[in-house]
Each structure stands twice: as structure tokens, then as C-alpha cells.
Structure 1
Amino acid sequence: MSQILCPVPADQRPINEYRDLKASWFFEWSSWPRPRFQRRLLLLWGMAWLVSGPVAIASFSLKEAPLHVFFAGALGANFLLLLILLRLVLGWAYVGDRLHRPTVIYEETGWYDGQEWQKPEAELAQDRLIYTYELRPILQRLQVTLLALVIFSLGLTLAWALL
């Protein structure tokens, strides 16, 4: 976006929001190759287990109900991982929506004066290419992962109910 042609402040331009998000420590790992991404998910799940495991052990007797302890700890870890994945999905979806739209809504002065700027065709085409080939695959991977985690949690809940 040319500074002369574009009244949108640099930090509110969709392409810059995308670059900032991709470079941030929290969001960057969702764009890593699949094996590395999966290792990060397992690491986060294990760390979440370190939080939820002691709560599960305090809630159920490890000697009398070890499966309850395991299921409670796993469900707690799943819940924490679900919150992380949900934040990732919402962040990428917000930027993706701004890249894909033909207009940019922005605040000129910071006083909530809501302005709207029509993207030129070339810029819209560039933003949509970035959305289609870079951002949408990340978003789809996160959505599939989120769905798999929900299904896993439902399976754990069903197994718990059958105990």
C-alpha cells in the first residue's frame, strides 16, 4: 500500500497485521511444518497435563480410581489446549477476513472514528492470494486440529461415562 494512496495507518493494514501475526511467538508455530506443529501440540498438551494432573489426583483417589484420574487429567489438558487452539483460530480468522475483504475498516485517530477504505484491485488480488495460499491452509489445519481435539474429548467423556 502506498502511503500517498492509502489513508490506513501502517499497523492497521491487513498485510502488516498478517506479517505481525506470522512473526509473533504465539502464532508463528501454527505455520510450521506438520511434524514440528504436532510436536508443539504434544508438548503443550503435556504441559497442560502438568497443571490438570495434580488437580485430578486431588479430586480422585489414584489407588481406587486410576482411570478417573487419567480421564480427568486428560480432559483438563484437552480443555487448556482447546483454549490455546481457539485463540489461534480466532486470531488467524480475523486477519484472514481483513485480507479477503475488498474494504479496510480502520481508526484514523484512535478515537473510534471508524473509517472505511476501498482496496485497489491490485492490492485486493495480492491480499486474496496471500489469504488463499498462505493463511487459509494454516486456518484449515487449526480447525481440523480443533475438531480432532473436541472428538477426542468427547471420546474421553464417553469412556468416563461407561466406567
Structure 2
Amino acid sequence: MERRTPTVAIPPEQRPFNEYQQLRSSYFFRWATVEPRVYLGTILAVWSVAWIVSGPVAAWSFPPGRMPWQFLVGGAGGAGIILGLVLLRLYLGWSYVHTRLLSASVHYEETGWYDGSFWTKPAEDLAKDRLVVEYQVAPVMRRLRRTLAALALFYAVEALLCWLM
């Protein structure tokens, strides 16, 4: 597709700053922006609720009465997979908005998926969007990357425990 400044204005809901505001105000994605204590509490809550699915699967594989450690490690790992999927969804949503805010021109759809075009941001919008990225979106992205790295470390410990058992 060729890049051109359209004669029709970009729809307001597809402007990167408006997408950021919608993301920030949505119940699910707002979770990544709360204070650290609430953020960690929500991570633990999601992991605990994920035990509803992973616990029975782990119990079927490793009967808790005969193999308690394997049951705990298996259930924790299964719950971690569900938590990882939730965190990955958070990261992908924030990453999408991050990319669109940083770009000098963005793709948008005029009436449907088949007739998209590119919009080149005015200098003022670009400067505003980049400030939003620097002070609002980048800290959220760092937090999510650190959380995903901690989850990867959790999986490394899980793998080591499985290997030792």
C-alpha cells in the first residue's frame, strides 16, 4: 500500500491517542497501570483462580496423597501457564498502542478491512504521542516485561524441580 495523506480524516476511534485512552480505561488493560501492591495482588489472584483448572489436572496426573510434591509443582506450573497467557495478552495490547503512538504515520481502515489507508500525524500530535509513550506507556511496558521475565524464572525453577523429582 502506498503512504498518502488521506482526504478523509482518520476515524476518531482509530487515532493512536484515542486508542491509548480506551486501553487505559478498559477494565482488563487498566490492571497493568495500578500501584505495585494492587498489581501483585491481582497477579496472585489470577494465579490462584487458575488453580481451579490446573489443580484437578495435576491431581489426575499426580495423586496428592501419593505424590504431593509433584502435584504442587504440576499444579503451580499449570496455573502459571494460564497466568502467562493473561500477561501475554496484556503485553500485546500495550505493545500495539505503544507502536502506534511512536509511529509518524499509522494505518487505519476507512470503511472496512479492504480499504485501509495511512495517516501522517501532524507534528503536534506526534510530539504529544511520544510524550505519552515516554511517561505513560513505557513504564507499563517495563513492568509487564519484568513480570514476564519473573514468570520465565518461575518456569526455570519449576523445570529444575521436575528434573530433581
TM-score by length of 1: 0.94
Q: Counterparts of 1:108 and 1:41 in 2: how far apart (Å)?
A: 38
- Structure 2 unmatched ranges of 5 or more: 1-6
Q: Return the offset for 1:86.
A: 0.3
- Structure 1 unmatched ranges of 5 or more: none
Tell me the residue number matched to 2:136. Answer: 134
1:22 equivalent to 2:32? Answer: no
CA gap of 1:150–1:111, structure 2 versus 1, over 3 A, is: closer
AA paired with 2:41? Answer: R
How many percent identity over aligned positions? 45
Tell me the residue number matched to 1:78. Answer: 80
Tell me the residue number matched to 1:39. Answer: 41
| Residue 143 of structure 1, aligned match among 142, 145, 149 | 145
Q: Return the offset for 1:111.
A: 4.3
Secondary structure of the 2:115 match is coil
Q: Counterparts of 1:74 and 1:109 in 2: how far apart (Å)?
A: 46
Q: Counterparts of 1:33 and 1:111 in 2: how far apart (Å)?
A: 38
Query: Relative to structure 2, which stretch is displaced further, 30-39 or 53-62?
Result: 53-62
Aligned length: 159
Alpha-carbon RMSD:
1.2
Moved over 4 A (4+): none
Secondary structure of the 1:74 match is helix
TM-score by length of 2: 0.93
